[in-house]
Structures are given as C-alpha cells and as structure tokens.
C-alpha cells in the first residue's frame, strides 16, 4: 500500500503501524517525513501522526482516537470521565487520563492531553461506546466521584465537580462504599454530604448515610484539600467546612 492510499484510509497512526502496512523501508520513512513537511501528515507527538489528506483534510481529529493511539493503557478520568457519562459543565479543550506509561502532556490542534499517574491498583473502570462505534476506557461514575473529591483541582475545581455530579442519574451505592473504604475521613465526609443532597434521586438508604457518619471521626474536616472555608460554612453533622457558602454548594450539586 502506498502512503497516499494509507493516509486516505487511516486517520491516526503510529510510525510502526504505517511501516507494517506499507513496508518497513527507508524509502517509506523518507516519504513519511516529506509528507509531514508538506502538511499532508500532521505530527501529533514523536512517533504518532494524523492524516491531513482525502476525507481527513482540514478535519479536527477525534480526541479519543488520539489518546487511544498515543497511550494504549489510558483510562479517562476526572472531567473527561464525567464527559463520557454526563456531559461537561465547562467546555474545555483537554482530555485527562490515568496511565502507567505516559508521563508527559502533549497538545494537538489546540487540545491538551494530560496524563496522571494511576492512583490505585484496583481502580474501577468500564468501557464506554461512542456514537461512531468506537470504545474508550474510563473510570466508573463511582470511581470518578471519589477521585474528583480527592483532587478537585484536577477536575477543574469544586464547582465543576459538583455540577458534574448534579447530572449523574444514578450510582451503585455498594460500589461507592467499597471505593470509600480506606479513604480519608475528609473524603468520606465529602461523599456523605453529597449522598445526603442526592439521597432522593439516587435512592440512598438512611443506613448508608449513618454508616459513613460513624466513620468521620471528630473533625474538623474540609471539603477541599486546601482547607478553604467560607464564613458560616460549617455543617455540624459532617464536621465539614466548605470553601463557599453552603447555599452555593447546594445550588451547584442540585443543578
């Protein structure tokens, strides 16, 4: 297969994939380099390219295709995971993912691809099918909620976290409780407060909330890792200080 034919059939490809398809020769390597110089092929990062020919000329390439090709072990997380199952409150040009192999961020077509180290060995993940039939891997809703409560700044801040949670239709309560085991008392209290706000919609039993309250210790605890607290923003039942007035926090979580 010629490079011209390959570029018209394949949107995103690695050097290895191209050479396997077209022949591993210096001539084909030189043809790829020339195509990049002429703008027929766009360099995403070292060893990874996007076609700018045929039906791909001038298009914005699919971010999920790029992250899967660039980082085969990528697991979408934080706001990118929320985007998979609830949509996004803030329109941002970035995709974030956990990876055991990729440590450097990269940009392509104005979009940032940002890796984070995998936080736990037994992270809860699932596959999400996209409208084009492709499948991407991301953290589950329950894992995403807990991860975002641990590191809200990685998820564009606490307002974005709560607004994203506000449109989660349902959760697996037992899975959430399993993920919370071993979490800090602060994260447990944050999750418990959210369960109270969503108790009716998510059908959370009173016994679940009571069990979390028994595990938060004496406090005081804080809703964000920086210990920010607004005046009068203390919830006695969860021993929690909030970074914004409680009424504001409730408005975000309740949509």
- Per-residue pLDDT in tens (0 to 9) along the chain, 255 residues: 888 899 999 999 999 999 999 999 999 999 999 999 999 999 999 999 999 999 999 999 999 999 999 999 999 999 999 998 886 655 789 999 999 988 899 999 999 999 999 887 678 999 998 777 788 999 999 999 999 999 999 999 999 999 999 999 999 999 999 999 989 999 999 999 999 999 999 999 999 999 999 999 998 999 999 999 898 899 999 999 999 999 999 999 997
What is the C-alpha to C-alpha distance for residues 91 and 53, in angstroms, rounded to an integer? 28
pLDDT on residue 89:
52
Would you state the structure tokens that stand for residue 90, as one six-digit string? 């803030």
Output the pTM of the full model: 0.91
Domain ranges (residues) in the chain:
3-61, 64-253
Rounded to whole angstroms, the Cα distance separating 93 from 16 reads 28
**Sign of the CA dihedral running 242, 186, 207, 237:** negative
The Cα–Cα gap between 32 and 40 comes to: 9
pLDDT of residue 85: 86
Cβ distance 51 to 60 under 8 Å? no
Three-state SS annotation for 161-229? HHHHHHCCCCCCHHHHHHHHCCCCHHHHHHHHHHHHHCHHHHCCCHHHHHHHHCCCCCCCEECCCCCCC
Identify the pLDDT of residue 134: 80
Sheet architecture: strand order including 12-14:
12-14, 48-51, 41-45
Q: How high is the pLDDT of residue 83?
A: 92
DSSP-derived secondary structure letter, 154: G
């Amino acid at each position: 297969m010629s490079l011209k034919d390959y570029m018209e059939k394949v949107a995103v490809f690695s050097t290895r994939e191209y050479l396997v398809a077209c022949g591993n020769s210096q001539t084909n390597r030189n043809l790829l380099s020339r195509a990049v110089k002429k703008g027929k092929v766009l360099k995403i990062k070292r060893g990874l390219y996007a076609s700018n020919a045929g039906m791909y000329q001038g298009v914005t390439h699919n971010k999920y295709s790029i992250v899967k090709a660039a980082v085969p072990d990528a697991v979408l997380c934080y706001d990118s995971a929320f985007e998979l199952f609830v949509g996004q409150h803030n329109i941002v040009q970035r995709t974030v993912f956990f990876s055991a192999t990729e440590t450097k961020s990269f940009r392509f077509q104005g979009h940032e691809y940002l890796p984070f180290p995998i936080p736990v060995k037994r992270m809860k993940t699932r596959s999400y099918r996209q409208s084009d039939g492709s499948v991407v891997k991301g953290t589950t809703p329950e894992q995403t909620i807990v991860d975002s409560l641990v590191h809200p700044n990685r998820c564009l801040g606490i307002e974005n976290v709560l607004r994203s949670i506000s449109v989660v239709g349902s959760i697996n309560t037992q899975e959430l409780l399993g993920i919370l085991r071993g979490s800090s008392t602060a994260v447990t209290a944050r999750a418990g407060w959210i369960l109270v706000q969503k108790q009716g919609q998510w059908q959370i039993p009173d016994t679940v909330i009571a069990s979390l309250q028994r595990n938060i210790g004496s406090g005081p605890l804080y809703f964000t890792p920086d210990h920010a607290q607004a005046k009068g923003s203390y919830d006695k039942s969860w021993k929690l200080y909030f970074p914004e007035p409680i009424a504001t926090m409730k408005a975000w979580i309740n949509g």
